[in-house]
Chains A and B, each alone.
Chain A
Amino acid sequence: MSRALSALLVRDLKLAYRRRGEVLTPAMFFILVTILFPLGLSPQPELLRSIAPGVLWTAALLAGLIGQESLLKGDFEDGSLEQLALAPLPLELTALARVATHWLTTGLPLVILAPLLGLMLDYPVQAMGTLVLSLLLGTSILSLLGAVGAALTVGLRQSGMLLPILVLPLAVPVLIFGAQAAAQAAHGEDPAGALYLLAALLALGLTLIPFAIAAAVRVSLES
């Protein structure tokens, strides 16, 4: 079973590598959205410092959504999703593997970019660790939630419009806890509480959301 899973992971990563350009889109989007805030508000360092955690987190949330439409689209269109659903491996596990590769190719680049953008917004260097950790936990949950939305809309034509409406309300707790952790660290407060809550959400998501993804994939395949 683990051999099959690792084969699946390697296949997905290879596929992602072949479509490098597409993989970079969320990262570019993340940078561009973050740049818009100083341009739209004002480049005052004090202002930027105070909005930095919220801006970075909101931009990461939106950038994460960009890539989610393609999470299952390719597999659905070439029929491999149907094969995976019929395979002896539980669909919950294959879905989790798919989310993992998606996170590695879209979520992780955002986490790596965040400190750089943080510096541009005058986010304190000593709080950078918390920012990265909060995004590390948060983007994983967002990938899981996005996979539910992607699985529910994969067979639809206008899925690009629908996906954010389905996923964003569900992502509110992640945004709140993540941005608060980053903000508390920036103010020199202890962000442990918010980080624990994020970790708890991730644990809950890892146990429950694969079932929702599998159920959603089955509905999409039936239609």
Chain B
Amino acid sequence: MSSFNEFLTMGGYAAYVWPAYAIAAVVVLVNLFAPGRRLKRIKDGIRRRKGAA
């Protein structure tokens, strides 16, 4: 890559390269944060039951 413009247009392949990277980013971020959120939900459930008991 020699210029930022070339980087954005991807030599004419921008319509394929950037969506691919965008979907990859979405998949990676979901994988990264979903288990943590699920863990938090389970912890909340345990704490609620502990509080009720």
Chains A and B touch each other in the complex, with CB atoms below 8 Å apart: no
A→B interface (CB under 8 Å)? none
B→A interface (CB under 8 Å)? none
